[in-house]
Amino acid sequence: MKILAFSGSNSRTSINQELIKYITQFLNVPVDIIDLRDYELPMFSIEEEQQNGHSNVLMSLYNTVIGYDAYIIAIPEHNGNYPAFFKNVLDWLTRVERSFFRGKPILLFNAAPGPNGGQSVLSIAEKSFPFFNGNIIGTFKLPEFSSFLMKGKIFIHDEGILNILKEQILKIENALNLKTVP
């Protein structure tokens, strides 16, 4: 079984990309982490697609995504919504195949500076990912993430929050019949 993990951020210092790295250490199977910034896509428009079609970069990303059995995705929240960068990636992927998630299990995560912990963007993703045939099996939010940073890296010291995180990770284990690290 292969798991793909990525953040929907285009920031070089993305706390959501750091959250992905932190989360994947709890799985006892290889997880491939990609950086969506490595797949430079123009801003989607019908005219862009008609004039230039589907770029090699888009097809490379699409082929990467469909080659996995499950996904761990951390989505930043910009003004209560997806970042424009991530929405653009979704728009392009759906032009190749609307159901590009192909019913595979997805864990959604968010790290946010405020006390709400990105609940708005997680709710939006829970409603929209099924249109892409995404099977959301769990969500996790890390509010006020700065209190979980040690030397620029995430470290969850609160046992209650850590247990909630591990419960979510257990969902992907169960979905794929994998064994996680306790």
Hey, where are the domains in the chain? 3-178
Q: Which two tokens stand for residue 21?
A: 């790295």
Helix (DSSP H) and strand (DSSP E) numbers for the chain: 6, 7
Report how far residue 138's alpha carbon sits from residue 133's, in angstroms, rounded to the nearest whole number.
15
How, if at all, do strands 105-111 and 70-74 pair? parallel
Question: What superfamily would CATH give domain 3-178?
Answer: Flavodoxin domain (3.40.50.360)
What is the model's pLDDT at position 115?
A: 82
pTM higher than the cut 0.85:
yes
Q: For residues 76 and 9, is the Cβ–Cβ distance under 8 A?
A: yes
DSSP state of 55: -
- The one-digit pLDDT tens for each residue of the chain (182 residues) are 899 999 999 999 999 999 999 999 998 788 999 999 999 999 999 999 999 999 999 999 999 999 999 999 999 999 999 999 999 999 999 999 999 999 999 999 999 988 887 899 999 999 999 999 999 999 999 988 888 887 777 888 889 999 999 999 999 988 988 654 44
Report how far residue 52's alpha carbon sits from residue 94's, in angstroms, rounded to the nearest whole number.
16
What is the model's pLDDT at position 178?
A: 61
What is the model's pLDDT at position 155?
A: 84
